[in-house]
Amino acid sequence: MTVCAHIDTKPGTPGAVDNAAGVATLVLLADRLRPFDELPIGVELLAVNGEDHFAAAGEVAWLTANRDQLDAIELFINIDGAGYHRGRSAYSFYNVDDRRSTIAKGLFGSIDDLVEGPPWYQSDHAILAMQGRPALAFTTELFDEMLVELFHAATDTIDQVSADRITSLATALQRLITGW
């Protein structure tokens, strides 16, 4: 299982929601997995650069290095735009079988600020989803609003991030990994 978040801010765009919040979720997840002596699945935590650049350098480098191992990834998880304070975090599945998606939804069920959302393809998970690999993406239920108001804008500041949403998402991911 690979859990991914990207780093891609530019001058004048602080990038708090897109995507420092995703990277913070990765760090918190790593801390939450530390006490487990064994996990039911191998886990790779991946921070890449350049998701919104035409060359997608980080993704391309990772794909090149892992080209022969993509079939071994049971689930590719992407965090992009999660933690926005105005909306709950939302998840969507891509090429995930019904049994696995039902298990995941059950593990997420008790987390009030996490909802199933519509599919979206503007991020790192799309690379694997388009190749037929199972993927799970996390963003905000207010994705369209965030695209207009925050992504790559000077308004994407730390006050737009909810620490509680990041914590809830890290909890959901820890439950998914330990319950897989």
pLDDT in tens, 41-87: 999 999 988 656 666 777 778 888 888 888 888 999 999 999 999 99
Domain count, the chain: 1
Instruction: Give me the mean pLDDT over the 84-94 stretch.
Output: 95
Give the CATH number for residue 49. 3.40.630.10
SS3 of the chain: helix, strand, coil, percent, to 5 = 45, 20, 40
pTM of the model: 0.93
State which residues form the domain around 101. 2-179
pLDDT at 69: 87
Per-residue burial over 65-74, b if 16 or more Cβ lie within 10 Å, else e, is eeeeeeeebe
**pLDDT at position 173 over 70:** yes
pLDDT of amino acid 71: 86
pLDDT of residue 104: 95
